[in-house]
Amino acid sequence: MEGGDTRKMITVVFRIKAKAGQEDEYIEAFRPVLRFPKDEGCINHTLFRSQTDPCKFIFFEQFVDLNARNLHRSREGEMLGIPPEKGIMRTAFSQYFEELEIVIVYASDRAIVAKEGKPDYYDVVE
């Protein structure tokens, strides 16, 4: 796999349910993020749309490590005029969302799921 040591890899998945009738507006508003160049250490960032429900999306990002993710968020925040600590997805696009769930997997050893801004922490079961 591109990007080196997978033990340090960060994967972020945003599960989005757009408000009915605003799906296309969300895509257009989000297009600058999709076109944003991948920074060093950003392996992938892709938006998926459900084949069965046009309101459902998944935005998938993968980074070689936490430093690469932080750099990417900082540059995206600069582009959108949003401090990354405010939560770029929630701040810039929340007017289009009915639901937003964020799943962050850290180096395949722990995960955080945040829904409505409330984190829930997970550890690997061995």
Domain ranges of the chain: 6-123
pTM of full prediction above 0.85: no
Q: Report residue 85's pLDDT band, with 50, 70 and 90 as the boundaries.
A: confident
- At residue 18, the pLDDT reads 96
pLDDT category of residue 106 using cuts at 50, 70 and 90: confident
| Structure confidence by residue, pLDDT tens digits, 24-77 | 999 999 998 888 877 889 998 999 999 999 999 999 999 999 889 888 888 888
What the block records as the tokens of 106 is 């850290």
pLDDT of 115 above 90: no
Average pLDDT estimate for 90-95: 86
- Of 3.30.70.100, 3.20.20.70, 3.30.565.10, 3.40.50.920, which CATH number belongs to 6-123? 3.30.70.100
Tokens of 49: 């749309």
Question: Contact 63/10 with Cβ under 8 angstroms?
Answer: yes
In angstroms, what CA-CA distances link 116 with 41, 97, 107?
28, 11, 24
Q: What is the model's pLDDT at position 113?
A: 84
Using alpha carbons, list the distances in angstroms from residue 71 to 2, 27, 49, 61, 109.
Answer: 18, 24, 26, 13, 22
Question: What's the average model confidence in pLDDT over 3-17?
Answer: 78
Give the rounded percent of residues in the chain with a pLDDT score beyond 90.
Answer: 39
Of the two residues 26 and 109, the one the predictor is more confident about is: 26
Q: Residue 92 above 50 pLDDT?
A: yes
